[in-house]
Amino acid sequence: MNINEIIEYLKAYDGPDIKMMEVCGTHTASIFKSGIRSLISPKIHLISGPGCPVCVTPTAYIDKCGEYALMDNHVLMTFGDMIKVPGTHGSLADLKGEGAHVEMMYSPFEAIEKAKANPDITYVLAAVGFETTTPAYALMIDKAEREGVKNIRLVTALKTIIPALQWICENEDGIDAFICPGHVSTIIGSKPYEALAEKYHKPFVVAGFEAEQILAVIYDIVRQLESGHEDVNNLYRNAVRDEGNIKAQEILARCFEAGPAMWRGLGVIPGSGHYLTGKYAEYDGGSMGLDADMELPASCRCGDVITGRITPGDCPMFGTGCTPLAPYGPCMVSAEGACGIWYRNR
């Protein structure tokens, strides 16, 4: 089938309503950018999932990073997206304006050079991300350990996707299928989805990021549901192997162990966090126990958005109390966050 035939099919679809969740924020961004939603039947609903690491980062974590940034002889290093996420006392960008030591990084490895050049300063990295990002932190910490660089700490909000998908399958019964994240799957492979597909009887299909690739996955899911299948399919074969990236998995296993993690809007999910372990544990800047979150006002519906209970536009704060320039929740901040994407394409 060529792409036009796929679009024709999906446009003409008139069966039962289908809700499929694109787990990854990059998929959401691509879906909006290419206008896929306007090309398919209104009976096919695309729901944005919890796969944007910024969106699921709890307020308590931002506050912890802010504390480090305000300490003497400490510099907090963070990726761009995180800098605008609001904490209890403002975002890291706000704190920076007041004189806190916040630096934007482009790669975790910058910390090693800086730490060597300034041995009196402790470089604290806001380490946020899924399996895609985590190997870079593992490699950096491994290098720091080997080279005896001691003045680096990670405050981790590193998460794993499978326990979160399981949580959604257990707690949300409205989702019929999952569009699995492309980048994360390059690391973990497509095999880990098999147990979920079998247990919850839903198709899980790994997708690339081009519009045509996403449409092919939507088509595959619709056809599976129509014919009563619940398979794991990997339609991103040029990047994702069934067994994933073994080398990356090894370094992750060496540096990190699983533990409970707080997901903003969802709560604590057992086994969904990555924490430094063994000889690397001394580099941890207090990542455990950041599970007390600020009480969200009833009007902030981030949790409902990332589980697909409502669309961003249904949130009472959308576009009024929460905009990209004055975000209330992180889903509005990130380039990958569902609310920000909806707002920019409204």
Partner 1 sequence: MKITMAHGSGGNASKELMGNIFGKYFKNDILDKLEDAAVLDVSGRIAMSTDSFVVTPLEFKGGNIGKLCVCGTVNDVLMMGAEPKYLTCGFIMEEGLDIDLLEKAVASMARQAEEAGVKIVAGDTKVVEGSGGLMINTTGIGVIPETRDVSAENCAPGDKIIVSGTLGDHHACILSARMEIENEIKSDCGCLKDITDALFGAGIDVHTMRDVTRGGMGTILNEIADSSRTMIELQEAAIPVSEEVKGFAGMLGLDPLYMANEGKMIAIVPGDQAEKALELMRATEHGANAAIIGEVKQLSCKKDNDMSGTDADAETKPVVHIKTPLGATRVLDVLYGEGLPRIC
Give the residues lining the site for partner 1 (CB under 8 A). Answer: 3, 7, 25-26, 29, 32-39, 52-54, 79-84, 104, 106-107, 128-130, 132-133, 183, 211, 215, 323-325, 334-336, 340, 343-346
Nearer to partner 1, 48 or 334 (CB): 334
Q: How far is the CB of 167 from partner 1 (least distance, A)?
A: 19
Residue 232, C-beta contacts closer than 8 angstroms, at least 6 positions apart: 190, 191, 193, 194, 197, 203, 204, 205, 206
Query: What whole-number distance in Å separates Cα of residue 345 and Cα of residue 341?
Result: 6
Tell me, what amino acid is at 263? W
Q: Determine the Cα–Cα distance for residues 258 and 261; give it in Å rounded to an integer.
A: 9
203 vs 337, beta carbon nearer partner 1:
337
**Shortest reach from residue 107's CB to partner 1, in Å:** 7
- DSSP character string of 8-53: HHHHH--SS-EEEEEEEHHHHHHHHHHTGGGTS-TTEEEEEEEE-T
Between residues 197 and 218, which has the closer beta carbon with respect to partner 1?
Answer: 218
Q: Is 20 or 125 the residue whose CB approaches partner 1 more closely?
A: 125
**Minimum CB–partner distance for residue 229 and partner 1 (Å):** 26
Give 33 or 254: the residue with its C-beta nearer to partner 1.
Answer: 33
> Per DSSP, which regions of 115-191 are E strands?
122-129, 152-159, 177-180
Nearest distance in Å: CB 103, partner 1: 12
The least CB distance from residue 320 to partner 1, in Å, is 11
Q: Is 299 left (phi over 0), alpha (psi -120 to 50) or beta?
A: alpha
